[in-house]
Structure 1
Amino acid sequence: MTKHETRIDARFAALRKDKRPALITFVTAGDPDFETSKALLDDLVEAGADIIELGMPFSDPMADGPAIQASSQRALKAGQNMHKTLQIVRDFRARDQATPIVLMGYYNPIYVYGNERFIKDAKAAGVDGLIVVDVPPEADDELCLPALKAGLNFIRLATPTTDKERLPAVLKNTSGFVYYVSITGITGTAAPVVADVHNQVKRIKSSTPLPVVVGFGVRSGEQARAISKGADGVVVGSAIVSTIEKSLGLKGEPTSDTRKRVTELVRELSSALSAD
């Protein structure tokens, strides 16, 4: 476990006090370009996001659906790299000391950057946690344990196929929160069945004191509200990056609508979760 309370721990403690589920929003760093991506983080917070997942662009994001794959491609085409991703966090942290930032993605860009250097630079930039979807518990020595030692939360995914034999391994070195993937398959391609999600979250919560949040397939305020009734928070990603994509100009450039549309969607999601 991490050595001290992180921003993620503090945020969930505050949300528990308010009796409110977390709204966790995902955007890809550098999508559609560096400057817009930086500005969007502020927009997300202003619109009601409690925690931000910032995607590390990668050329082969195999667990992601078409929307998030496309966002990675746009970011890479615009010149995004790990240095710039950490710079986005650094700049954000100069303006916002409270909102947790979780870097989410795949191991390859971290490995290329260098594990030790990445953990040191991520911590210094103001990153609070990591979700690295293709590093299994069997490889905890590689990245998870050094990250925990440095004071970063290492957040793991549980899925509908994570059975009772596998769950302890998934939970063993997890911290911050557990991310429950509500559907089998890739992101943003199907809608979760609310009753099934609630049952699975209940099962996971019986094995860990950590908050359990639900993601994959949550696209509207109504859906988010229904799912949040049985969870500690919801993650919305594909719906946000699709909104970005639909707002772009003919050459893929941001328009005056880009930030506005994202803000409107996140505000709707936040309002739905805050309603009595």
Structure 2
Amino acid sequence: MQRSALIELDAVLAVARRASFRAAAQELGISTSAISNAVAGLEARLETRLFHRTTRSVALTEAGQRYVARIAPAIAEIHRASEELHGDPLSPAGTLRINTSVGAAQMIFQPLILEYLRRYPQMKVEIVSEARLVDIVALGFDAGIRLAEAVPQDMIAVPLSPDLRLVVVGSPDYLAAHGVPQSPADLATHEGILTRLSHGGLYRWELERHGTAITVDVPARIILDDATLIRQAACAGMGLAFLSEWHITDALARGELVRVLDDWCPSFPGLRLYYSGHRHVPAGLRALIDLVRKQAPLTGAI
């Protein structure tokens, strides 16, 4: 199917994804005026405003949100069907859109995504990293990558990593000055480098030993929303941090950070690649699934 037959719908979806007419135009390879006219034409025919527009921002109206949620899966399927008419299952072509968290993207980028692009040179990959869990079908993503506990129950999940751990760490200088906590209760006298979650709340440290699970509120010295910054602050001696063991492997090996309360930090199920089982799996996604099954768990990278 030619793009001209779907340009208005593609324009609406691109503007919704990018929250910008200019960025949407760049994505679709057309002019900003063309995409603006396409959206305006569709709004006129629907007799409904789909976007709130100001000089600084673009956002979907309530009606626009409902409309995009309904059309996105159908348009994605139409594009996939068109691609597959001319595609070779052994050499897929097209764009693969993945939604994931920032941390997961960092973990799988080198061993999985770059290898995928090397194997399938006609494929393009778009990764959208965000903390919030989204409806990948409604937003037009082919797949998601999240921790096993966060995968929706109606999705097909493929194991991607071994079990993971969050560990409590501090720098040698910090521990020398403040002492080494011997129990979770001791954390009340320490300074914490805490994580601000996407919904605005603070992450409370979840510890467990011998089947006993507790949640600890550590006094905050610094509050951040990025694991790399948290690691840097911990290495600088600003307090104790609760971080993915994968994220601090090098710092632990170099002695910049030291584990504490290690027996209170059990492992948990790791990352999963997931996708909808209620629609056709395109060749590009099938190729990624096959690669994951050959490589997983990605022990060399995680």
TM bin (shorter chain): under 0.3
Compare CA radii of gyration and give the structure with the larger one.
2
| TM-score scaled by length of structure 2 | 0.22
Task: Write 1 or 2 for the structure with the bigger share of helix.
Answer: 1
| TM-score scaled by length of structure 1 | 0.24
